[in-house]
């Protein structure tokens, strides 16, 4: 299967951001992509750098304007599109939501981000309620979304630090893991610290591929976005990548420029890898009860 990951730099112009994303999808499909993934909250700047109630005006319903536009594009190009939206589920109830548009244009499913950070520059708990279900399955928690190109284990950004989320998607039959992302550096951190953060981010996601024997797709944004008062800001570090089921790089983007990765995935390789590294067989499920505790005192 040929897949594409789009790394984009955003502006305050919502319509221009979406139009550029759609142009990049067209370019990826022209190169043969059957599945295309956009970065987290691709329609706007990363507004979670501050707590501002006016930012709730950015939210939209699902289905809504973005899913209508992307669904029409998916149908026109006959491609599966993974997109990330600020969802207004009800008045006062909002989610960080990833949606899947099937190649015939219909909404195949959605995933509402389960792990919500609250750190300097990433004040997401102010905006987002943690997810509670996968739209098309009716199951609580981590359930892959069935599409014409396979079962997509769709997770979002902060979810990528949690091996439990990746494992549960794998146990539910995901064919690959996908992470729309918006992460970057505080420019006040020294280069050594910045390198440690980037290396940790890459390593943990490649480890999800290894531990579950699945390909992993990661789409991060790039470019500098200043803080709301003109000070501070986030230097998004790009480095979107695709890796195979042993964590091997298949493609990796640069740090500071827009880029589209178009990659051929051998979907039979997970079967081969899991035969020689049968981690699911050797799990000691009888000894893992404490994983459901916050901390083992």
Helix, coil or strand: residue 151: strand
67 Cβ neighbours under 8 A, 6+ residues apart: 83, 85, 99, 101, 107
Using CA atoms, how far apart are residues 157 and 96, in angstroms rounded to an integer?
A: 10
Pick the closest to residue 56 from 112, 106, 128 (CA basis): 128
Pair 184, 236: CB distance under 8 Å: yes
Pair 267, 175: CB distance under 8 Å: yes
Pick the closest to residue 262 from 33, 27, 8 (CA basis): 33
- CA end-to-end span of the chain, whole Å? 46
- Active-site annotation holder among 24, 88, 124, 157: 157
Using CA atoms, how far apart are residues 37 and 39, in angstroms rounded to an integer?
A: 7
Using CA atoms, how far apart are residues 85 and 131, in angstroms rounded to an integer?
A: 13
- Active-site annotation holder among 87, 113, 124, 243: 113
For β-strands 93-101 and 80-90, DSSP reports them as antiparallel
Active site residue 243: no
Angle at 81 between CA 255 and CA 94, to 5 degrees: 85
- Active-site annotation holder among 40, 87, 102, 225: 40
Pair 96, 113: CB distance under 8 Å: yes
Pick the closest to residue 114 from 59, 172, 158, 79 (CA basis): 158
Pair 213, 186: CB distance under 8 Å: no
182: left (phi > 0), else alpha (psi -120 to 50), else beta?
beta
Catalytic residue set:
40, 113, 157
């Amino acid at each position: 299967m040929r897949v594409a990951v789009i790394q984009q730099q955003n502006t305050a112009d919502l319509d221009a951001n979406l139009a550029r994303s759609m142009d990049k999808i067209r370019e990826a499909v022209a190169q043969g992509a059957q599945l295309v993934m956009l970065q987290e909250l691709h329609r706007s700047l990363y507004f979670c750098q501050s707590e501002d109630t006016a930012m709730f005006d950015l939210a939209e319903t699902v289905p809504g304007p973005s899913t209508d536009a992307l669904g029409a594009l998916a149908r026109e190009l006959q491609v599966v599109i993974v997109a990330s939206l600020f969802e207004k589920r009800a008045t006062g109830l909002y989610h960080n939501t990833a949606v899947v548009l099937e190649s015939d244009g219909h909404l195949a499913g959605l995933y509402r981000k389960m792990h919500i950070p609250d750190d300097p520059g990433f004040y997401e708990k102010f905006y987002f309620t943690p997810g509670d279900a996968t739209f098309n399955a009716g199951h609580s928690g981590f359930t892959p979304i069935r599409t014409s190109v396979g079962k997509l284990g769709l997770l979002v950004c902060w979810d990528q630090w949690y091996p439990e989320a990746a494992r549960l998607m794998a146990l539910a039959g995901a064919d690959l893991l996908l992470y729309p992302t918006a992460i970057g550096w505080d420019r006040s951190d020294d280069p050594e610290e910045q390198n440690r953060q980037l290396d940790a981010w890459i390593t943990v996601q490649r480890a999800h591929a290894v531990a579950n024997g699945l390909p992993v797709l990661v789409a991060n944004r790039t470019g500098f976005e200043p803080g709301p008062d003109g000070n501070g800001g986030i230097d998004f570090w790009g480095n979107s990548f695709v890796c195979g089921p042993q964590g091997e790089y298949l493609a990796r983007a640069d740090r500071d420029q827009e880029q589209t990765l178009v990659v051929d995935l051998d979907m039979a390789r997970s079967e081969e890898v899991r035969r020689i590294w049968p981690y699911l067989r050797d799990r000691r499920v009888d000894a893992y009860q404490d994983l459901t505790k916050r901390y083992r005192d």
